[in-house]
A = this chain, B = another copy of it.
């Protein structure tokens, strides 16, 4: 059996390794457009910021290492067409320009996503994107060269935008952070976002929210300028962090169904609608177990699990049984300006859009027992469904290394636990780690009361 993998990052290489390991008779071939395989995309802001020294530090396994294990990896090789009937893919060597055919029995399409770059004057020409390790390396080199980068405009105030903004400030570079939304991080509710906005402003970031990008241009004095509907900001470089769009085109051309999310439709074994083609990672949509919809969530955690599931299905070894990817609950964490930001499930805004009747509570607690030195501050928010009390989401913005605490709420969301039951869970306590009532238990207790459910502790 010949497995061909398009895309050599988390999903692709996970599946490639698994199939290679489980089937002696498998020939595994990977084509990757970039120079690197299996790297941590999430680590790129730390490379840009200088926390990490070398691009190679972010690489889990290099093409050479995969080759040593018997997996064929072609880097700087782009897939340009899929023929699902003949089961072959036309690929192009990006250095030589040569094209050739790669046949397959099974094809895993793990082509990832590409940065969204709106069709506005000057963006394609002047904007940096930092979506791939190659791009991150390029940006790092520009900053290291000392070539007069004193002021950068970052467009997009999501995770990546905020992480890059902080990385730049840490390097002594001034930052304009621009987003059309009235708040940073659309994935958390406004009261939580405001905590981060204050922190970013305190750090010296010039925050330009509610401003719509219109152009990037060269100004009268020869320097670049970012133009919005409300102002014009000089910038030696412009970083576009406006999210990613799944690279579906090639698969869609081959007949693979694309969902309303814009990503590829797959079943829970990661099979596309075309026989012989699996897909995994940033390019697919996943079942959102909270909202009951299908969404495109671009995260390494999902890509890794989906790669495993696809690999097991492709390898089809009787001992492996069936593997099914259950879906996601929207768990995500980051650290910005000393604040941990963690979220899961629905925001209040999103629940309202979906017509789900919820109650939400917000309050502020501490990361250690209140009487301990440096007890920290944690802003907590939790949402539950009216009537049932089912936990539908939670958010934490806090100091004191609290991000991973969201995982309890993630498990509650994934299992449909109700707040009136959640308040009784045996969660840990000791003075260095919080009060005797864990913050999520307090949230569940407050929600039980807010929803008029019992028992009200």
Residues of A bordering B, CB below 8 Å: 10, 18, 40, 42-43, 46, 51-52, 57-58, 289, 299-302, 304-305, 308-309, 312, 319-335, 340, 342, 344, 369, 371-373, 400-408, 410-412, 414-415, 417, 421, 424-434, 436-438, 454-457
Q: Given A410-B427, A426-B330: A433 and B404 within 8 A (CB)? A: yes
Question: Could you tell me if B404 and A425 are in contact, using CB atoms closer than 8 angstroms?
Answer: no
Question: Could you tell me if A42 and B429 are in contact, using CB atoms closer than 8 angstroms?
Answer: yes
Closest to A299 in B: B429
Known: A46-B372, A407-B428; 6 extra A-B contacts, CB below 8 A, are: A301-B429, A319-B456, A334-B432, A403-B428, A411-B412, A411-B425
Q: What chain B residues lie within 8 Å of A52 (beta carbons)?
A: 371-372
Q: Given A323-B457, A436-B300, A437-B304: A410 and B428 within 8 A (CB)? A: yes
Question: Could you tell me if A430 and B403 are in contact, using CB atoms closer than 8 angstroms?
Answer: yes
Question: Could you tell me if B321 and A436 are in contact, using CB atoms closer than 8 angstroms?
Answer: no
Q: Given A42-B429, A42-B430, A407-B408: A454 and B321 within 8 A (CB)? A: yes
Cα distance A429–B303 in the bound complex, in angstroms: 12
Q: List 16 A-B contacts (CB under 8 A).
A: A18-B457, A42-B431, A46-B431, A52-B371, A300-B429, A301-B426, A301-B428, A301-B436, A305-B457, A308-B457, A326-B421, A335-B430, A340-B432, A344-B426, A404-B405, A410-B426
Question: Could you tell me if B431 and A40 are in contact, using CB atoms closer than 8 angstroms?
Answer: yes
Q: What chain B residues lie within 8 Å of A10 (beta carbons)?
A: 436
Cα distance A319–B411 in the bound complex, in angstroms: 30
Cα distance A304–B417 in the bound complex, in angstroms: 21
Cα distance A58–B324 in the bound complex, in angstroms: 50
A306, chain B: closest CB distance, angstroms: 10
A117, chain B: closest CB distance, angstroms: 24
A175, chain B: closest CB distance, angstroms: 20
A119, chain B: closest CB distance, angstroms: 31
Question: Could you tell me if A305 and B424 are in contact, using CB atoms closer than 8 angstroms?
Answer: yes
Cα distance A412–B412 in the bound complex, in angstroms: 10
A385, chain B: closest CB distance, angstroms: 18
Question: Could you tell me if A427 and B331 are in contact, using CB atoms closer than 8 angstroms?
Answer: yes
Count chain B CB atoms within 10 A of each CB in A321, A405, A456 and give the residue with the most. A456
Closest to A321 in B: B454
Question: Could you tell me if A432 and B403 are in contact, using CB atoms closer than 8 angstroms?
Answer: yes
